[in-house]
Amino acid sequence: MAKRLAAVGHEGDNVYKFSASNSFKRVMKQFGTSDKGLNQEEVTASRQNNGANVITTEKQESFFVKVVKAYITSFTMILIILAVISFVTDYLIVPADEKDITAVIIISVMVILSGTLTLVQSVRSTNAAEKLTKLVRVTATVTRKEREKVELPIEEIVCGDIVNLSAGDMIPADIRLFQAKDLFVSQSAMTGESQPVEKIIDVDTDTDKAMTDFLNMAYMGSNVISGSAKGVVVRVGDDTLFGNIAQDLTKKKGVTSFELGISSVSWVLIRFMFVMAPTVLLINGFTKGDWLEAFLFGLSVAVGLTPEMLPMIVTTNLVKGATGMASKGTIIKNINSIQNFGAIDVLCTDKTGTLTQDRIVLEYHLDADGKEDDRVLRHAFFNSYYQTGLKNLLDVAIIEATEQELDIEKEDYEKVDEIPFDFERRRMSVVIRDALGKTQMITKGAIEEMLVVSHFVEQNGAAVPLTDELRNKILRTVDDLNGDGLRVLGVAQKTNPRVQGEFSVSDETEMVLIGYLAFLDPPKETTQPALEALKKHQVQVKVLTGDNALVTRTVCNQVGLQNEKMLSGTDIEMMSDEVLKMKLEDTNIFVKLSPKQKTRIVKVLRESGSTVGFLGDGINDAPAMKEADVGISVDTAVDIAKESADVILLEKDLMVLERGITSGRETFGNIIKYIKMTASSNFGNMFSVVVASLFLPFLPMLPIQLLFLNLIYDISCVSLPWDNVDEEYLETPKKWDASSIGSFMRWIGPTSSVFDITTYILLYFLICPAVVGGPFTSLGAQDQALFIALFHAGWFVESLWSQTLVIHALRTPKIPFIQSRASFIVTTITFIGIGVGTILPSTALGAQLGMVALPTQFFFWLALTIVAYLALATLLKKIYIRRFGELL
């Protein structure tokens, strides 16, 4: 096959020119195929010769790149530089008996711990994303010799395959069409044109035009709006027009507001470090006189201000959130969209299959007088059975009811033609011929549209003109059925229609309305509690449907959406965006909407400041899903809906969606906890260091001690992604607000400094003098060394307690340990850290770090300090919440 292609010389653009300008039979011959498709041996050969149907625009990062990104970040680079400086000043340039590499080891442990955890989570993130993506498959209907029509993942399609297309399908490769019926394709992804293009199968001899202007070609990346078609695949994967465009562009994923916020916070902390560390250095250098010691202490302060665990905490939370949502039936296609998912405050949803059971049953098939009539069902069956376009649940219900109630010899009929369904005219037709040669056009669709094309009504076996009186009688009958919650379609027919060439929409005239089909789609039992749960979580639900007002009103009443205001598509068409914006504030049900009107509603809602989620599964929902902040679809949706979605539900159930929204808020909550805790804790600690440096005759803590303290705190923070989140926190949508970080630092940070300073006073004037035997200035050198070691041990333990307990104090606006408790993992790891740090001064390692065992009386004062700290933190939290509205 490859040799034949090369011989013709139609590589690159020439493939399209050859395919468009030659008959489809010659194109099939060129690719070694037929209208029956390829066999498995030919498929394998084609894949080897022409490549796989995979776009490789974004190459997977190698493990080496992941390692580099994990260990070399803006934070770890600072730590590495500090480690190098410490190695030089503590080891290389000092006498042999003073060499100390402990600080280098501790900083290295921090870098290794942060990098390793980030690397593990990065690999987990990639693996989780791949697994989740595999759960959402985009398929195409392919004709293969062994199995005839078969649904295959688009990755398995090869050149020479015969692809069957219908409304809602993504074009899986570049295709030369050889059958097309009212085929309209959206090429906006390729050309930017908003209007769909009608495709035809005629040979196009004008080979000088742009590739996308060939009307007998359909290209990967576009999608079928309406109609049906067949075609032969001529290009796959990277060789497609879409593949070439994708390779020419550097496609980067959009940066969410949350990612921008995290980046801004990171650099705020880094800039803060660059100010505070030199300040501490200068203060200690001038006041203590030992510039080398002051320099090392300044380095330690810089390490203490570096949030080296931030990348790991964020990645862990997102991976845990995405995998947790998957276990609850919610697939996150891009884990960075989790924040928007939790921020949804308006959910737009269709009615069928979301509020209702998605299990439509044909209740009645009635003649125009409202009486049961098998003839109406027979005609409806022919229409649904022979159409090749978008078969929906109504078609399935008609076919199932016919198989149960009627015995139809399908071999006595043949299909002549069809006019596929589209969402503008809302009807579809087929033309069939029976064994006697009688031809009929049978049309079914929404009753209003059917009355437009029907000039007659069948009554008592005869066709009578459709008068205004009969029209009103028909509408009253339909209204009665709609009032019972039944969805109604009209069925019309025309015998021996005359047409030149193919049938088209213009032939749907002078029809005879023969009856109605009434369908029941009962509400789901879970819908009402799900709506109540969403309301509790402050998510406003708006129903956007193409169905009529009566049916929608009935279903909405059944699920608890009573007395809601309603707008129709006709009303909306007459409104400006300003008027619609006002109407949207108190209107939650919208009926008889077109796809464009759904998109417009979503756009206006977003412009009003809402974070909008759109739940849909049809081709008519795809534009609105793309417009929404979060497009939500289901695994059974049409391809274009799944492609447009950010989130895929494995069940089309609002209860699953509600659980997903709360999971998104939980993930956001645990990330924001770490950011605010770390920012405020670092601010408070360094404020304490500055105060101590000004008034103490020695360093408040040795550099090595400060590093060890920071290491224990970092290890404690690793547990935060597994923390509980208060129920009250989950009740409100969560939006990223970077300005709240600064206010949180300024208000909450100094809280711990208050008790750091009281600890300085207690240690310097009370506890240390009592143990050593006098105030610092009256002691000899040996006793002063003991005084300093005792002071360092006391502040180390108090700092560890306050800094670690801040995790429990600031994780909730409630009283910690009493009204709200952290998870078992967080509680266990933080208290192990506190325990290790508390006994450390009494151990040999503590002595090596320059600390001594603390007296019993210290722990009495420590207990009072911590209780007072938690009380003040709780009081400040209440004041902060009253002023700023929320804590986290």
CA Rg, the chain, in Å? 36
For residue 129, count other CB atoms closer than 10 A to its CB.
16
Q: How far apart are CA 323 and CA 66, in angstroms?
A: 20
* Nearest CA-CA partner of 531 in 567, 494, 569, 558: 558
Query: Is 661:344 a contact under the CB 8 Å cutoff?
Result: yes
Residue 432 in contact with residue 439, Cβ under 8 Å?
yes
Q: Catalytic: 174?
A: no
Please classify residue 608 by burial: count the beta carbons closer than 10 Å to its beta carbon, then call 0-12 exposed, 13-18 middle and 19+ buried.
middle
Angle at the Cα of 644 (from 344 to 656), degrees rounded to 5? 45
Phi first, then psi, for residue 349 (nearest 5°) are -145, 150
Structure tokens at 457: 């009504």
Which amino acid is located at 417 in the chain? D
Q: Are 147 and 46 in contact (CB under 8 A)?
A: no
Angle subtended at Cα 659 by Cα 654 and Cα 665, rounded to the nearest 5 degrees: 125
Catalytic residue among 169, 350, 507, 547: 350
Tokens standing for 107? 């900083």
Entry field: residues in the chain:
888
Distances (CA, A) of 211 to 200, 204, 207, 238, 337: 15, 11, 9, 16, 35
Q: Give the helix ranges, DSSP H, for 170-256.
A: 188-191, 241-248
How far, in Å, are 36, 53, 232, 468, 605 from residue 33 at the CA level? 8, 17, 8, 56, 50
Nearest to 509 by CA among 451, 577, 579, 594: 451
Residue owning tokens 């439509």 = 360
Element housing 14 (H / E): helix 13-21
DSSP code string of 329-388: TEEESSGGGHHHHHH--EEEE-STTTTB-S--EEEEEEETTS-B-HHHHHHHHHHHHH--
Contact 51, 11 (CB under 8 A): no
Query: 10 Å Cβ neighbour count for 724?
Result: 19
**Gap between the Cα atoms of 524 and 840, Å rounded:** 60
Alpha-carbon span 830 to 816, nearest angstrom: 14
- For residues 626 and 632, give the distance between their C-alpha atoms in angstroms, rounded to a whole number: 10
Distance CA 537, CA 732 (A): 5
* Secondary structure element (H or E) that encloses residue 630, with its range: strand 630-634
Rounded CA separation 782/217 (Å): 91
Residue by residue, DSSP assigns 452-469 as: HHEEEEEETTEEEE--HH
Q: Does residue 407 sit in helix, strand or coil?
A: coil
Active site residues per annotation = 350
